[in-house]
Amino acid sequence: MEAIKRFFRHSFLSYRALFGWLDPKVYVLVMVCMPLSQLLFFSFLVRHVYDGVDLAGYIGANALLLCVMNSVFGITSVITSDRSMGTLQLIMATPANKPAMFLARSLAHVANGMFTAFIGLLFGILLFDISLSFEAAGALALVWAVSIFSACGLGLIIGSFCLWTPSMHLLTNLLASILLLLSGANYPQSSMPHALQFIANFMPLTRGVKLTKEIMNEGNFDRVPVYAGQEFLLGIVFFIICLVCIRLAAYQARVKGTMDLS
């Protein structure tokens, strides 16, 4: 029990240390207002293009994509902030369990991504007069949780690249654009070239977007267990790859005698 409490306490303190200095107004503007403006843009665009057909699914899918702010830009700061503040050496040298440490640091971003996505969904429901049953809301909560978890795993991989390159703004913005492009949130995935469809199968949020559209447009829950399980396994693979990258960086640091590998 004490280990579990310590795990969640570390998650909270890590998130607070990264963002506690922000003014509440800045948090609202960055984590709420900016994502909502993105939701509004794509929602009105989709309604115009498709004449309101299956609008609920598109709004739900775009609400899920609001987590990109947390799963990409927020989660990469888990590693990049340690390098910029000079504490990365201490973390790599500590005998603490590295997988548990980085997983704990990621949970707060998963929760914050869920919060942002549901705020966007609530905003879309009120603005476009969409109905959502309790059963559908529960299914969406499960689908979105594993989808955001998977996206955070990929964000950690990109964050680990800060050990080799200082061009993190380029990488994070590129990843955010790729997730928006390949998820199929604003157009049928079948309209993409076959090569992109193949790549999309290995990207997070793709299955979450499909399930969100099926749940909100058709009330279909049949594929929720299969796709949610696949998305969760994909997230586990991403976290494992991230840890491999960090261990590789630690090995190179021992060889070179410095954590500055760029």
Tally of residues, the chain: 262
Residue 207's pLDDT is: 93
Residue 16 has pLDDT above 90, yes or no: no
15: helix, strand or coil: helix
Give the Cα-Cα-Cα angle 19, 182, 206 (nearest 5 degrees). Answer: 75
Spatial separation of the C-alpha atoms in residues 61 and 64, rounded to whole Å: 5
CA within 13 Å, CB half, 43: 27
Residue 226's pLDDT is: 92
Residue 18 has pLDDT above 80, yes or no: no
Q: 59-75 burial by CB neighbour count: b if 16+ within 10 A, else e?
A: bbbbbbbbbbbbbbbbb
Residue 52's pLDDT is: 77
Contacts of 120 (CB under 8 A, 6+ apart): 35, 36, 39, 62, 63, 66
Q: Please say whether the beta carbons of 238 and 203 come within 8 A.
A: no
Residue 250 has pLDDT above 90, yes or no: no
Residue 206's pLDDT is: 92
pLDDT (average), residues 237-256:
84
pLDDT (average), residues 219-230:
90
The whole-model pTM stands at 0.86
Residue 28 has pLDDT above 80, yes or no: no
Residue 198's pLDDT is: 92
pLDDT (average), residues 88-105:
73
CA within 13 Å, CB half, 27: 11
Q: What are the tens digits of pLDDT across the range 114-158?
A: 888 888 888 888 888 888 888 988 999 999 999 999 998 888 888
231 vs 248: which has the higher pLDDT: 231
- Mean pLDDT rounded to a whole number for the chain: 83
Q: In Å, how far from its chain's centre is CA 95?
A: 28
Q: Please say whether the beta carbons of 147 and 235 come within 8 A.
A: no
Confidence of residue 21 (pLDDT cuts 50, 70, 90): low
Spatial separation of the C-alpha atoms in residues 208 and 144, rounded to whole Å: 6
Spatial separation of the C-alpha atoms in residues 183 and 202, rounded to whole Å: 11
Among 104-113, 195-204, 230-239, the least confident range: 104-113
pLDDT (average), residues 184-199:
88
Transcribe 19-50 into DSSP letters.
HTTS-HHHHHIIIIIHHHHHHHHHHHHHHHHH
pLDDT (average), residues 101-118:
82
Q: What are the tens digits of pLDDT across the range 147-157?
A: 999 998 888 88
User: With left for phi above 0 and alpha for psi between -120 and 50, is residue 54 left, alpha or beta?
Assistant: left
